[in-house]
Amino acid sequence: MKKHAAIYIRVSTEGQRDEGYSIEAQKEMLEAFCISRQLEAREFYIDGGFSGSNIERPAMAKLIANIGAGLVSHVLVYKLDRLSRSQKDTLYLIEDVFNPAQVTFISMNENMDTSTPIGRAMLGIMSAFAQLERETIRERTRMGMQERVKNGYWPGGGRIPFGYDYDREQGILVPNQDAETVRRAYALYLEGYSTDRIARMLGLKYEHLALQILKRKTNAGYIVYNGKEYRGRHTPLISEETYNKTMEAMEKRAKKPLSSGKYLLTGLLVCGKCGAKMRYQKWGKNDCKIVCYSADKSKRGLIKDPHCQNKRHSAWEIEEIVLNDLFSLSIKEDKAETASADKAEDILAGQMKAQRVKLRRLYELYAENGDSILKETIALQKKALQALEERQRDAEALQKKAMEIGKTKKELKKMKDAWPYLSMSEKKNIIRSCVEKIVITDDTVDVYYTF
C-alpha cells in the first residue's frame, strides 16, 4: 500500500470554531498546504471533542498504528497544540513514534518541519510552551475554585452530599427531601444507636452511608475543601453543637472495646464459596461458629449469595489451624541462596559499570564527529543500560522483601513462646500485622500473609 501524508485534526470544544480551529477550517488550510508541497496521497485523521491533555483518542490511535505499519510519510497539523498540549506526549510522539519510522512532522502555524535542524530545535521549545499554557490554565482554575469556596459557594463537581441538591444558579447547596433523614441520623446516634442500626432504621442501603452522613461537616454549614474548612452559604441541616457532640460520642465509642473484641480473627475471615465476609456466631452456651455473612439476613449489604452453602466450623478449631500455620513458618535461612543472590548482584553491578564506560566513550566520539550511526548506537546502549538498571531495582526490591520476611519469621519464633501471656489486644495486633486474609472453603482453610 502506498504511503500517505497524514493530516491530523483535533477540536476539543464547539467554542474553538470561533477561534479558527474548526474541523473544516483546519481541513481547508492543511489540504492547501499539502498541495503546495506536492503531497498528493493524503488521509485525514480527525478527533472531534477530545482534549489535548493526553493521546487517548481514536484517530490518534489509528494514526500511530498506521505509522507502525509503515503507511505514513508525513504528519501535518495546523498548530502544535492540536497534536497535544502535554510536553511529555508531544516529545513521545516525535521521538518514539514519528522519528523511528522516518516520518516527517510539520506544524503549519509554527512553520515547523522536523526534517530540518531548526525545526527539531523549535519542537522542544514550542512543546514546552504548550505544556506551560495547560498548567497555567489548571492553576488559574484551581485558584478560582479556592476563591469560590472561600466565599461560601459550593465548588461544584463530584458527589452532592446526601440530604442536599445543588442549585447551579445560586451556586449553593439546598436541602432536599432527605434532609430530615440526616437530622434523624444524628439524633439516633446521640441516643446511643449504632451506625448499623441507624442504617436499618432509616432505610439506608449501607452502614457506611450512615457513618459518612454523621462525619460530614457540610451538614453543620461548612465546606471542606483541600483539607481546609470554610463557612458555607447553604442552610445547615444540624447545629454545630450537634455535630461536635456527635464527633465526641464517636471518639468515645472508638476507645471502648468492641463487642467482638474477644474474637481473634474478626475482620480477616472470607468465604471461599461466595466471597462474602465471615463472622463469629455464638452457638449454644460455650461454643462459637464461623459463619458466612451471606447467611445473615440482618446485614443486607454484606450478602454475596443468599444461597451460599459453605460449612460452619468451630471458631476455636479455625483459630488453632491459623495459629499452627503461622507459627510453623520456617525461620531457617538458606545461606546458599543468599550467597547466590549476592553473587548475581555483583555481576549485575559489573555489567552496569562496563555499560556506563562504553556510553561515555560513545558520547566522546559523537562530540568529535557527530556521526549519525554513533547516535543510533548510543540510543541502543542507553536502552541496554536502562534494562540493567531496571533489573537492579527489581533485585533490590526482592532482597529488601526477603530481609523483611526473614525478620518477621524470627520475631514469630519469639512470639510463640510469649503467646499465652499476651492480652487479646496484643494477639490481634500480631495477627493483623502478619495475616492479610483467611479464606474458608468447606473443610479447607487458606491463610494469606502480608509478607
The per-residue DSSP string of 153-170 comes to ----SSPPPTTEEEETTT
Structural contact between residues 347 and 310, judged by C-beta atoms closer than 8 angstroms: no
Three-state DSSP at 410 gives helix
Show Cβ contacts of residue 336 under 8 Å, excluding neighbours closer than 6 positions.
none
Counting DSSP H helices and E strands in the chain, the numbers are 13, 15
Give rounded-to-5 percent helix, strand, coil for the chain. 55, 15, 30
The C-alpha torsion from 109 through 114 and 115 to 121, rounded to 10°, is 110
Q: How many other CB atoms are there within 10 angstroms of residue 74's CB atom?
A: 22
* Nearest one of 156, 206, 90 to 164, comparing CA atoms: 156
pLDDT tens, the chain, 451 aa long: 678 999 999 987 654 544 557 888 888 899 998 888 888 888 999 998 888 888 889 999 999 999 999 999 999 999 888 888 877 788 788 878 998 999 999 988 877 887 777 776 776 676 666 667 667 777 776 676 778 888 888 887 668 999 999 998 888 999 999 999 999 999 888 877 778 888 888 988 888 899 999 999 999 999 988 888 899 999 999 999 999 989 988 887 675 444 446 788 988 999 999 999 999 988 877 789 999 999 877 777 788 998 899 999 899 999 999 988 888 875 444 454 455 556 667 777 788 888 888 878 877 777 777 677 777 788 888 888 888 888 877 777 666 666 666 666 666 666 677 777 777 776 776 787 778 899 999 999 999 987 6
pTM across the whole model: 0.37
**All 3 cell numbers of residue 428?**
490481634
**All 3 cell numbers of residue 203?**
432505610
* Nearest one of 97, 36, 38 to 64, comparing CA atoms: 97
Task: Report the pLDDT value the prediction gives residue 368, as an integer from 0 to 100.
Answer: 72
**What secondary structure letter does DSSP report for 329?**
S
Cα 346 from Cα 67, distance rounded (Å): 42
Active site residues: 12
**All 3 cell numbers of residue 176?**
432536599
Helix pair 335-369, 372-418: axis angle to 10 deg: 160
Task: Report the pLDDT value the prediction gives residue 402, as an integer from 0 to 100.
Answer: 61
Through-space distance between the first and last CA atoms of the chain, rounded to whole angstroms: 55
* Nearest one of 291, 293, 290, 289 to 276, comparing CA atoms: 293
Task: Report the pLDDT value the prediction gives residue 412, as an integer from 0 to 100.
Answer: 67
Three-state DSSP at 78 gives coil
* Cα–Cα–Cα angle for 326, 332, 338, rounded to 5 degrees: 125
Cα dist from 103 to 51, 68, 203, whole Å: 24, 10, 62
* Burial track 104-132 (b if 16+ CB lie within 10 A, e otherwise): bbbbbebebbbeeeebbebbeebbeebbe
Show Cβ contacts of residue 356 under 8 Å, excluding neighbours closer than 6 positions.
385
Q: Which helix (H) or strand (E) holds 343?
A: helix 335-369
> Where on the phi/psi map is residue 251: left (φ > 0), alpha (ψ -120 to 50), or beta?
alpha
Three-state DSSP at 265 gives coil
* Nearest one of 362, 367, 366, 364 to 381, comparing CA atoms: 362
* Nearest one of 277, 278, 294, 289 to 313, comparing CA atoms: 289
Task: Report the pLDDT value the prediction gives residue 114, as an integer from 0 to 100.
Answer: 76
Cα 428 from Cα 265, distance rounded (Å): 7
Task: Report the pLDDT value the prediction gives residue 157, as an integer from 0 to 100.
Answer: 62
Helix pair 179-190, 195-202: axis angle to 10 deg: 140
Show Cβ contacts of residue 270 under 8 Å, excluding neighbours closer than 6 positions.
276, 277, 278, 437, 438, 439, 440
Three-state DSSP at 246 gives helix
Three-state DSSP at 220 gives helix
